Amino acid sequence: MKLGPVEIEDTFAEAFPMYVSRILITALDEEWCLTAARTATGFASSIIMSPAEAGIERLVPKEKTPDGRPGVLIHIYQRSAPELKFQVIARIGQCVLTCATTAVFDGLPKSKRKIRIGSALAKFGDGFEVEAELDGRKVWRIPVMEGIFVLEDTIGFKKGVAGGNLIILAESFDSGLKAAKAAVDAMKKVEGVVLPFPGGIVRSGSKVGSLKYPKLGATTNHLFCPAIRDKVPDTLVPPDVGCVYEIVINGLSVKAVEKAMGAGILSASKIKGVKKITAANYGGKLGPYKMNLYDAIEKAREMGDTY
């Protein structure tokens, strides 16, 4: 398939299941919402070495939050429910409770599976904490020097999807970065997904395992490295490509990740200098979800310009 001059390879992104929590942070204004969200989702690009995968989904208007203040949704991902619980408690306790003006609510209120965080974090109140109700939710009111930190007692979680991806091959650094940023901007319009890497863009895509170092679980995806194309007999970098970027997408569902992939393809393919868009897969070694690029494009087109 071609979108204008850009080749879209008939292939699939291979993704895998992880547990995900979705947390709503509210604050005095958007600046403080985003300050807390960025801090709470730090050091969480890839489970390969980070203690979790996490990212910011979107801002939420004050009309749609329990306390009538601006909000932001974040996701936190982990392999197991106990590890996820630890990360949720640690990141809320260290990064949100400490941030000026914030409150925390469940971003998956309909989920049957819950992480009980109130009984742990409320103890910071040293006996002065109080149970209460807000907008039909059980919350804790925890005294802090600024005033009161409001925390919902439980946070929902579910099985999510991690590792959806696109690989953009462009003729130069300038065109490659411009295309990757365009793809990221489009993907951020899709509800239920996050892009865990810095700015949503991966400059150092990896493969499973190593050619030289057996103990390493992941190493550079040498097939897509332009700088060593002459040293790699089976390189996947064409002669007219000088820059390759990957975008990784995590989401609450396969459908959400596929829509984001499609939106990213449609946007990136409009940028002059993009030669090809493909995806990374590992022959079933990584995960059970196989999201075809052509199908993703169709799902995004169904959404129209709203994505």
Q: Residue 155, by phi and psi: left (phi above 0), alpha (psi -120 to 50) or beta?
A: beta
- Can you spell out the DSSP letters for 77-134? EESSHHHHHHHHHHHIIIIITTSTT-EEEES-TT-S-EEE-HHHHGGGGTT--EEEEE
pLDDT digits (tens, 9 = 90+) for 130-168: 999 999 999 999 999 999 999 999 999 999 999 999 999
The mean pLDDT of 278-307, rounded to a whole number, is 86
> Do 295 and 167 lie in a common domain?
yes
> Do 184 and 100 lie in a common domain?
no
Band of pLDDT at residue 302, cut at 50, 70 and 90: confident
Task: Provide the 10 A C-beta neighbour count for residue 145.
Answer: 4
pLDDT digits (tens, 9 = 90+) for 187-209: 999 999 999 999 999 999 999 89
> Do 10 and 75 lie in a common domain?
no
What is the separation of C-alpha 307 from the centre of its chain, rounded to a whole number of angstroms?
A: 16
pLDDT at 305: 61
Q: Which residues of 72-94 are buried (b: 16+ CB within 10 A; e: fewer)?
A: bbbbbbbeeeebbbebbbebbbe
| Structural domains of the chain, count | 2
Domain that holds residue 106: 19-158
Domain end point (choices 125, 158, 191)? 158
Q: Which residues pair with 45 in a beta bridge?
A: none
pTM (2 d.p.) = 0.95
Residue with tokens 């005095």: 28
Q: Which residues of 223-260 are buried (b: 16+ CB within 10 A; e: fewer)?
A: bbbbeebeeeeebbbeeebbbbbbbbbbbbebebbbbb
- C-alpha span between 104 and 152 (Å, rounded): 6
> Do 164 and 292 lie in a common domain?
yes
Above 60 in pLDDT, residue 285?
yes
Secondary element (H or E) of residue 301: helix 293-303
